[in-house]
Amino acid sequence: MQPGDDRRARLWLLGAFLGGIMLHLSQLPPWITLGALLCAAWCLAGIVGRVPLPGKRLRGALVAGLTIGVLAAFHTLNGLAAGTALLALMGAMKLLETRTRRDGYIVVAVALCLLLAACLGNQDLPHAPLYLVQAWLCVTALAATAHPQAAAHTRRLASLSARSLLLALPLAMAMFLLFPRLTGGFWSVGASRVSTGLSDSMSPGSISELGESSDPVFRVWFQGPPPPPQERYWRGPVLHEFDGYTWRRTPGLQYPAEQLDYTGAVYHYRVRLEPDTGPWWLALDTIRSTDAAGATITPDRQLVARHPVHDPVTYDAVSYTFTRSTDRLNHLTQLLDTALPPRRNPRSVRLAQQLRAAAPDAHAFVTRVLDLFRHGGFSYTLTPPLLDLNSVDDFLFNTRQGFCGHFASAFVTLMRAGGLPARVVTGYQGGEWNPLGGYLLVRRSDAHAWAEIWLQGQGWVRVDPTAVVAPERLRRGALDVLPDAGSASERLMYEITWLNRLHQGWDAANAWWSTRLVGYDFHAQSRLLQALGLSARSWQQLGALLTAALGLWLLAVTLSFNRLPRARPHRLARAYALLCARLGSAGFARRPDEGPVTYARSLATAPQAFGAAARQLLERYARLRFGADTPTEAELEQFERDVRGLRLARRSSRR
């Protein structure tokens, strides 16, 4: 091994380790990154400038100090964050004592573990190329360590590692497809993000916070065509209680269920919810059934998770766009959904009572209130003025500017004041159809609030007062209606068609990645295996399948290694092979280690009829093949002809 080669191999090791650190740059505490980089710099100085590396005592002290530092920072050595920090530091320390090939392997293993930790923390598509590059770096460092003489030729090294990765690809695919999937949340060790979705309360302004973000919330794949934009109401928390300013739902309070008849268009669809969207799983209004195992349908038709889930969730559901109920509203709901806070919003209450008194029936009352919104000088904006504690009064009589939350809140208040049971429903409205992925993408900016009122003989009826004030909001979404919705870059994206298409393509790729690859769970695995005609019901059967795949892979790799590169056989060699085969069929097979002359001698026992001719042919072959003169075309042809023309007498016929 040349010392130069060794240095190059160590540079590759350094690169692989630094790549591992880079993957955790945003997660690691700065002092740990700094410490690891300092060790790496020392190692680099040792390689390039031949600066002496620290001695045993200093290394021991450093290791102890750094371990205590990690303990102090995380209060534990367990868990992904503390483990990663410790791994980064210890890997950096290992760089300082990397002398032998074995040390090199350990550094590569540390770099690979860092990669694994990064994968545990984040599995989205933009990170995938980084992980690939890091994997390639690690394999290259491994190759450079194992073959220091190849380290001098970067191209050879690169092809060596690329070949190794390619060779590993089928194995990785088999492991991915067949490795028994854990159904628990093992992979979400690192997830500790704040849930940023709908909440169980709504005060003026809370929904506009959601409206500022265009992060995706969920994607929906429909069986058949998607519903028209005005039917795309995604039902979230239903809010019943009002204190004059904030709408809430009482957690744990069970409302009695009404008997519903489902009518109208039916939609079968699959929802994939992004992680950390809170306990409300979204469903098209009104949901009838779902296969979501971790969630239940409440009496007020919300889909609520039983336990908080930090993973992406996928579920199928069936919804109808229209329901009716001919029952009487039960007493408790009647009580709760007509309740108003005493002495709050007195002007609104008075107005509602006047309108109700003037209207012959409930329908006329609703129409009058909606007319009020339509012609009362209200305008839709995402940046309304702040409201005082009597928020409905302030909104209806002073500011008259607001968005869905204001309108829904005011409308429900007026309904309740007029004696009609009403409630606020929050959720999302609309969604962007992605023609490339064939799904509907709903973003945080699609958050919406609307109202439901109880009409005797019809049941709960959805009324969206926002639709009266800003009908375009329903058809085209907030970004289109309001010039100030969304950030400048989002607006730019929205207004330039091809950029929008690009964005949609990227989103479709992301969706594919997160549903098909990251979201490949036990159910998806069973579905795939069933489609392939294999039914693996248990992890034992999966293990057997995996072992079989592994065996096949090993066999293929062994065979491909054993196959020596062979040139196309020479014409003469083909004729000779034919001669040997023909003689072999007559009972005089050639041993592989026999040359032509030895072979000819072994034909001594052959019958005279062909023995002499065969010997003569073999001698001719020896002359043509090993002689000084290149055989002419004519000689070759003659030889081929004579080989074909050789008359064989079977050995058996001789006896």
Partner 1 sequence: MNGARAEPLSQVVAALDTIIIGKPQQVRLCLACLLARGHLLIEDVPGVGKTTLAHGLARVLGLSWQRVQFTSDLLPADIIGVPIFDRATQQFQFRQGPLFTQLLLADEVNRASPRTQSALLEAMEERQVSVERATLKLPEPFFVIATQNPHEQLGTFELPESQLDRFLMRVSLGYPDTQAERRLLAGREPRELLDTLPAVLDAGALLHMQNEVRDVHRAGPLLDYLQQLVAHTRARTDLKLGLSPRAGLGLMRAAPAYAYLDGRHAVLPEDVQAVLPAVATHRLQRRDAVPESGRSIAAELLRAVPVPT
| Binding positions for partner 1, rule: CB under 8 A | 569, 573, 576-577, 580, 592-598, 622-623, 625-628
Residue 603 CB, nearest approach to partner 1 (Å): 14
How many Cβ atoms are within 10 Å of 194's Cβ, its own excluded? 5
Burial of 622 (0-12, 13-18, 19+ CB in 10 A): middle
Q: Give the Cα separation of 400 and 209 in Å (integer).
A: 20
The whole-angstrom separation of Cα 520 and Cα 515 is 7
- The whole-angstrom separation of Cα 272 and Cα 555 is 40
Q: Helix axis angle, 30-48 relative to 79-95, nearest 10°?
A: 20
Residue type, 187: W
Quote the CA–CA distance of 616 and 233 in Å, as a whole number.
94
CB of 654 to partner 1, least distance (A): 27
Per DSSP, the three-state class of 306 is: coil
CB of 227 within 8 A of CB of 442?
no
Nearer to partner 1, 169 or 577 (CB): 577
- How far is 154 from 108, CA to CA, in rounded Å? 18
Which residues 6+ apart lie within 8 Å of 355 measured at CB? Answer: 365, 368, 369, 372, 414, 418
Between 299 and 627, name the residue whose CB sits nearer to partner 1.
627
Query: Cβ of residue 561: shortest distance to partner 1, in angstroms?
Result: 13
Show Cβ contacts of residue 534 under 8 Å, excluding neighbours closer than 6 positions.
545
Q: Rounded to an integer, what distance in angstroms lies between the CA atom of residue 551 and that of residue 100?
A: 33
Active site (catalytic) residues: 404, 448, 464
Radius of gyration over every alpha carbon of the chain, rounded to an integer in angstroms: 38
47 C-beta neighbours (distance < 10 Å), count: 20
Which residue, 190 or 631, is less far from partner 1 as judged by CB?
631
Neighbour order of strands in the sheet with 303-305: 280-281, 303-305, 295-297
Nearer to partner 1 by C-beta: 567 or 634?
A: 567
| CB nearer partner 1, residue 555 or residue 573 | 573
| Nearest distance from C-beta of residue 580 to partner 1, angstroms | 8
**185-189: which pairs have CB atoms within 8 A and are 24 or more residues apart?**
185/309, 185/310, 185/311, 187/120, 187/123, 187/311, 188/275, 188/310, 188/311, 189/79, 189/80, 189/120
Residue 243 or residue 594: which is nearer to partner 1 going by CB? 594
From residue 480, alpha-carbon distances to 26, 33, 176, 228, 490 in Å are 35, 44, 42, 17, 11
Give least dist CB 601 to partner 1, A.
9
Cβ closer to partner 1: 173 or 573? 573
Q: Say whether 252 sits in a helix, a strand or coil.
A: coil
- Report, in Å, the least distance between residue 574 CB and partner 1: 9
